[in-house]
Structure 1
Amino acid sequence: MIVTLLVIGLLIFQVIFIYNRLIRLRNNAREGWSGIDVQLKRRADLVPNLVTTVKGYATHEKQLLEEITTLRNQSIAGQTVPDQAKTASELGRSLKRLMVIAEAYPDLKADKNFLKLQEQLSEIENYLQKSRRYYNGTVRELNIKIESFPSNLIARLFGFAKFDFFALTDESDRMVPEINLN
């Protein structure tokens, strides 16, 4: 009788332990997503200032500036993680193209406002990279726990679902840039 009660007590303790671990991992993943969301919002808030500054110098780059504005608006709309990753990736590529175009305008490159915006954008991209790594790490841990025995039984019982990774959606983002020093 006592052995049965001890076994039942041990099983209940194990269920509680696994459940609490799943809760902690899910909250860590949500926190990680919040960090990405904050950085994407910071970048989206910076884009109009950047577009306005460049617009004064590069008037014939209207198509790219409109594309950036459209992507910026999409990035602040509520989306799933894969959709958000795709939009963020596209916006990042467009902003890189904008920086390349800016190289052709010496007055723009020397503009203090543009330099400050460029520095802020670089800082945001660094924070965004760190946030993505943190989020993906917490999602990995949560997903492993959801798929592993015996925690998968508890996860299924209490309705825990796997999270999506924040992944690159364009293979060109994975390619090493070609450097020409000539």
Structure 2
Amino acid sequence: MRVLGLTGSIGMGKSTTARLFSEAGVPVYDADATVHKIYEGEAAPVIEAAFPGTTVDGKVDREKLSARVVHDAAAMTRLEQIVHPMLHAYRQAFLDRAERWGADVAVVDVPLLFETGGEKHVDAVVVVTTTPAIQRERILARDNMTDDKLTTILARQLPDAEKRSRADFVVDTSHGIDHVRGRIREILAEAAKMPRRRP
């Protein structure tokens, strides 16, 4: 089985691309969905102990937690030390299941793949991109999004040009869904023939 790491900066169309991989019959691990799950489960008491007042009714309040860590690099590192081992365990369980099901290719959708060194644990990297104008338009259309918040988020992410330069495959979502579907078919055909890179 080949494992593709799917990544891309905010507003590039990564979630749509992940859904289209899934529609093509590929098992997809969603790191963001797993974060939601552990924030409502095993991570909540540990995060509350580290950052008192950031949970409500036993679940992490993402707004409160974000306000606590977003401008504090040390706090962000502490949060990652709590969350990343839990996410790793879920991702490994997903890959074990996909292998048992006989999948040729599995996708791990990880927004901060390069930023967390995740590219070392996949066989190839797929980067989703679009034009800066489309990216900005998509992001600012989201609820509770402001220019300041956007600047902070983008500062934590590698620039799009660098991600593309490190990618094995690039998916440009500027040209509509049919274009993305075609690109996914090409990627799956190529990925199945690639040598395994992960340890």
Q: What's the TM-score bracket when you normalise by the shorter of the two chains?
A: under 0.3
- What TM-score results when the alignment is normalised by the length of structure 1? 0.27
- What TM-score results when the alignment is normalised by the length of structure 2? 0.25
